Structure 1
Amino acid sequence: MYAVTDSRLTSGDRLLERVRAALRGGARWIQYRDKSTDAPRRLAEARALAKLCHEHGAGLIVNDDVELAAASGADGAHVGREDTDLESARARLGAQAVIGVSCYNRLELAKDAAARGADYVAFGSVFPSPTKPEAARADLDLLREARARLALPICAIGGIDADNAAIVAATGVDMLAVISGVFGEEDPEIAAGEIVRAMAADIGVPGL
C-alpha cells in the first residue's frame, strides 16, 4: 500500500494528520507529492513526513524532486520523463536510496529503467483518475505482461480504491499507489485499511 499525497487534498495543517491516519490504516510507503514553488514549506513538510514515516516503520519517497529527497532524509525519489534522469538521481541519493520510475503504459520504458538500475517501476493510470484525468491508460493486461517480463517490483497507480484494489493486486503487481482513494476520503485510516484488506484477501493473507 503506497499512499501518495496531493496538496489539494492534504494541504497545510491537515498533511501530517492525514498521512498519520493512512499509516495507521496500513500504508507502508508514502509519496510526498507537492508541485508548488514554496521551497521552505516543502522542505519542512518533507522532513516532518520522513520522521513520521520512520516512526511507523514506513518509507518516504519524494515525487520529482531529488534535491528535496536528499535534504529531507527521505528514503528515495520517484521520477518521470520530465524529471531528473535516473542516473543523476542515483548519483545524488546513493546506492541505498529507493528510486522509482514512471513508465506510463509503455513496457519498453520499464525494461529500460530496470536495466539502468531502477528499484521499482510504475504503470498507470490503471483506471480513470481524478488527479490526472488526461493520463495514459495502463490496463490490467499490461500489468500482467509486465509482471511476467520484469523481475523488479511493479507499482500500479491511477483510480485505485477499495472497490477495485483486489483485481489490480491479482495481476501480480507489488504495490498499489493510491491518491484520492485514501486522501480524498473523509477518514484516510479507514480508506487505507479497506484497500490493504482487499489486497491481502486477494493473496490469501490470513487474519486480515
Structure 2
Amino acid sequence: MMEEENEGHDITEFGREDPRPPCQLYLITPPKIVVQDFVKTFRQALEGGAVAALQLRLKDVADDEILKAAEALLPVCEEAEVALIINDRADLAKKSGAEGVHLGQTDGSVAAARTLLGADKTIGVTCHDSRHLAMEAGEAGADYVAFGAFYPTATKQAPTQADPEILTWWVALSELPCVAIGGITPENAAPLIEAGADFLAVSAGVWAHPEGPAAAVAAFNRLFGTA
C-alpha cells in the first residue's frame, strides 16, 4: 500500500535501491546563522566528503531571512548535488525553489504540501518514536520518515527518546527511507547505521566538531564505508 502510493515521487537522493545503498549524511543548519559565514562553513563541510541533503532550519527569524539564506545556499547545494530541504514551511520551500520540505507533526499535512509543491519534490515527516505516525506518513505519500531523538541533543528540545530498533522495524516493513535524528556524532552513530538508518540527520555533530566540519563529514563517510 505505502509503496504503491509513493510511486511517482522521484527522489534520487532519498530513494532506497536494491541492493540497499550505504547510509548517507543529512545535515541540518544551526537554528541561527550569519548567512555568508555559514555558506563558507558549509563549503568547508563539503570538502570532507559526500552530503545527501541540507535542511535549512532557522528559528525565530522572518520569512525573508529564510528565503535569503535559501537563495545563498541553493547554488552551493546544486553544485554539490545536495538536496536543499526547508524545515516546517512548504510555502517557503515553494518560493525558494528548494528540493522539498520537512514537516513536523504540527506543520500541516503531507497532502497539502504535495498539492503545493508537486509530485517531484521531497516531503519528509517527523515521526518521533511512533510507529503509528510513520505508518500514517507513508500512507499519506511522504518521501521519507524521520525518527528520534536517539541521543540527548542541545539543538532542539526533543519530546521523545527513540530506540534504534524502530529503524530495523521500519526497514523490514517499508521501502520508504528512514532518517535518524538527535544528538548524533561520529562517535555514537554506528548503532544507528547497523540498525538500518538510510540517513543520519546531524547538526552540532558536524558544525561543533572539535576538528571542524570537514573532519566530521569525513568521519561520517568513513563510517558509511563511502570515504
- TM-score normalised by length of structure 1: 0.91
Number of aligned residues:
201
Q: Partner of 2:186: helix, strand, or coil?
A: coil
What is the alpha-carbon distance in structure 2 between the residues aligned to residue 75 and residue 133 of structure 1?
26
What is the alpha-carbon distance in structure 1 between the residues aligned to residue 114 and residue 157 of structure 2?
30
- Kept in 1, the 8 Å contact 2:35–2:72? The answer is no
**Quick one: higher RCO (CA 8 Å, sep 6+), 1 or 2?**
2
- Kept in 2, the 8 Å contact 1:101–1:113? The answer is yes
1:54 and 2:78 matched: yes
Per the alignment, residue 65 of structure 2 pairs with 41
What is the alpha-carbon distance in structure 1 between the residues aligned to residue 118 and residue 139 of structure 2?
17
Q: Partner of 1:195: helix, strand, or coil?
A: helix
1:196 and 2:221 matched: yes
Per the alignment, residue 155 of structure 2 pairs with 131
- Kept in 2, the 8 Å contact 1:47–1:74? The answer is no
- Kept in 1, the 8 Å contact 2:31–2:155? The answer is no
Q: Partner of 1:152: helix, strand, or coil?
A: coil
What is the alpha-carbon distance in structure 2 between the residues aligned to residue 13 and residue 97 of structure 1?
26
Q: Partner of 1:151: helix, strand, or coil?
A: coil
Q: 2:37 aligns with which of 14, 18, 35?
A: 14
- Kept in 2, the 8 Å contact 1:185–1:191? The answer is yes
CA-to-aligned-CA distance 1:56-113 (integer Å, 9 cap, x gap): 1111000001111111110000001110211110000000000000000001111111
What is the alpha-carbon distance in structure 2 between the residues aligned to residue 43 and residue 85 of structure 1?
22
Per the alignment, residue 76 of structure 1 pairs with 100
CA-to-aligned-CA distance 1:153-198 (integer Å, 9 cap, x gap): 0000001111122221111111000011011225111111111211
Alpha-carbon distance, 1:4 to partner? 0.3
Cα RMSD for the two superposed structures: 1.4
- Kept in 1, the 8 Å contact 2:88–2:101? The answer is yes
Alpha-carbon distance, 1:47 to partner? 1.6
Which consecutive residues of structure 1, in runs of 5 or more, have no partner in the other structure? Answer: none
Alpha-carbon distance, 1:3 to partner? 0.4
1:167 and 2:191 matched: yes
- Kept in 1, the 8 Å contact 2:35–2:69? The answer is no
Alpha-carbon distance, 1:49 to partner? 1.2
Most deviating of 142-151 and 173-182: 142-151
Q: Give 1:67-146 correspondences, 5 Å limit.
A: 67-146=91-170
Per the alignment, residue 171 of structure 2 pairs with 147
Identity of aligned residues (%): 37
- Kept in 2, the 8 Å contact 1:4–1:177? The answer is yes
- TM-score normalised by length of structure 2: 0.84
Alpha-carbon distance, 1:133 to partner? 4.0
Which consecutive residues of structure 2, in runs of 5 or more, have no partner in the other structure? Answer: 1-24
What is the alpha-carbon distance in structure 1 between the residues aligned to residue 139 and residue 31 of structure 2?
33
